[in-house]
A and B are shown apart, each in its own frame.
Chain A
Amino acid sequence: MTTGCTLGEMMIATLARTIEDGTLVFHGFGSPLIQLAMHVAKRTHAPRMVLVAGATYGVNPEPPFLAPTTNDWVMDRGASSSLAIGELFDLAAAGRMGRMFLSGLQIDRWGNCNVTALGYPNITLKLPGGGGGCNLSCDAAYVTLWTTAHRSPEDAKGQRRFRLVEDCDFITNLGHRTRDGRTAKELGHRGNGPQWLVTELGLFDFDAEGKARLIAVYPDTSIDEVLENTGFTPGLAAQVETIPAPERSVVELIRRLDPLKVHEKEIRAEDMRRGYAIA
């Protein structure tokens, strides 16, 4: 009998809980944790969710296993229909996409993300680019942000390269507020912006001003550890809770959905050792 779960499974369950039933939800590429979170939500609390797969644009697919690349026929097997690329983004632009999941190599307190380049305009590291994230960050009703690389240990010179940064070098995906202080609402965007930020150290929501606020940590992480690894000072909930472990049935479901353990590619080696008891 399954008696424990991994950090990856803990994060997948946490991400899945951010999905409401009866909404249209989409994911991008390179994000197996999100693919699994969406399939878990669809098979548990959100059966009426419209699950649109990234890259294939298949609607409600039932892949036989998770493939290591997103645009693979594996990933749209069983889909009842497929959307055209323009159609999917039109749905978001017209305000019909309920949730999108986004990430970045830099994420600031407002939920802006950089997936384009470090050092811009004098580029030191060219990142892959954000796909359609820029558009969807403005258009999707809600955004869940995630990263598996919040922890930023000191290097030999005692410097930390934060993932959660004071300022993004380039804003690929818009959060609640731009660099010049205009809010996404003032800009007239349809979406309500980032609602949750799930990391391997904790769970944040965003306060009324649009700033990230720590609301929960894992059984094996602490508020201090989160603060130490964050490039800005996040708000703290009056009561910082502990993220609950998933139910056994959810852990078993994840293992059935991802027999090749593709999602572990997203988890850092040092976090592979983390484990949690499940009820």
Chain B
Amino acid sequence: MARTPRPVYTNHDKRTTLDDLAARVADGALVAVGGGLSSREPMALLRAMLRHGVKGLTVVGSAHGIDIDLLSGGGAISRSSESYVGFEQDFGMAPNYRRALESGIVSVDDSCCYTLVQQLRAAIQGLPFMPVRSVRGTSFLSLHPEYRQMVCPFTGEELLLVPAIEPDVALVHAQYGDAQGNLLIQGPPVADIMFAKASRAVLATVEEIVPTERLSELGGVTIPYFYVTAVSEVPFGAHPTACYPLYAYDRRHTALYYEAARKGAGTFSVEYLSVFVHGVPDHADYLARIGGEKTRARLSSWCDGPEAWKRLYLDEAVA
């Protein structure tokens, strides 16, 4: 049975507060978190959601790291349909995510990137499923009894049918937006455009809200406003992930995060959550807590040239 069509959002002014965005994510929602790995994750929004005490989320995505690990450590997730959650070879496996999935608190519903792409495409096109040729023969079929096999009526080939995924909400952090909700993403959009088109609602944070004409000058709109439900200006809203060209990935903060997470759930709660999430009433306090202007200056130094950029990634710079 097809759900009602996704709405188009036509309000002229969708500006709101970060807390209001966070409050719109319902317990139990199917959530697509934008960005990828160490880049443009909507981290301020995720922290605000944890302060609101959101529970029981199912998360879908391609390549993720600290975002899903933080939601796992904060007790917000009950099912993970991600394709990858980790800190690559740099720090290693995601500690909170691992604990949550190994303990059974979060059920394992892993997917893979192209399967997800096809499932989002089905939703975007208003179709119930899409076919893929791959995946057959792997263990993903035992993990996903909802997949179906068919013989192509045209060629006789065996294909796998994967059902549409229509997230309840996509959470996106972009460099720029306007009051109406037009979003401009600079650099790799990862799956954000597909997430925005496939989801019932899009909640966006942006580094800066600018007039619509300015968006054209800056490169044009990546996600048109009518997909977007609400937008909030949250400078440094992706920290500690990168939001180039404004700031690079904060590897030093990530090292601090990882060390707290690695030591166990209790330590993570005391050393990280209660300091950087629950211990700060709002984003302004978070910015002060991470070092304010000094940190902003350090992370924007990447644009001084390759040597300055490199310095941000030296192991010595992490300590």
Contacts and interface: CB of A to CB of B under 8 A. Distances in A.
Interface of A: 29-32, 55-58, 64-65, 67-74, 76, 82, 84-86, 89, 92-93, 116-117, 120-121, 123-139, 170-174, 178, 182, 184, 187-190, 259-260, 262, 265-266
B133 A93 contact: yes
Given A65-B310, A71-B37, A71-B63, 18 more contacts: A29-B86, A29-B88, A55-B63, A73-B244, A73-B248, A84-B193, A85-B189, A120-B139, A128-B86, A128-B93, A129-B112, A135-B114, A135-B134, A174-B137, A178-B137, A189-B134, A260-B310, A262-B313
Closest 9 CB pairs of A and B: A132-B113, A128-B86, A138-B134, A30-B88, A135-B114, A89-B114, A134-B112, A71-B37, A64-B306
Interface residues of B, number: 60
A265 B158 contact: no
A72 B137 contact: no
B150 interface: no
Contact of B83 (A56, A131, A266): A131
A190 to B, nearest CB: 7
B242 A134 contact: no
Contacts, number: 197
Given A85-B190, A138-B137, A117 B112 contact: no
Nearest to B254: A69
Given A30-B88, A117-B108, A134-B112, A184 B133 contact: no
B101 A126 contact: yes
Contact of B139 (A133, A137, A172, A265): A172
Given A68-B313, A70-B37, A123-B101, A188 B133 contact: yes
B140 interface: yes
Contacts of A82: 188
A241 to B, nearest CB: 29
A68 B88 contact: yes
Given A72-B38, A123-B108, A85 B113 contact: yes
A72 B309 CA distance: 11
Contacts of B110: 116-117, 129-130
Contacts of B142: 121
A141 to B, nearest CB: 13
Contacts of A265: 89-90
Contacts of B139: 116, 120, 170-172
B62 A85 contact: yes
Nearest to B140: A134
Contact of B188 (A71, A125, A128): A71
A138 B135 contact: yes
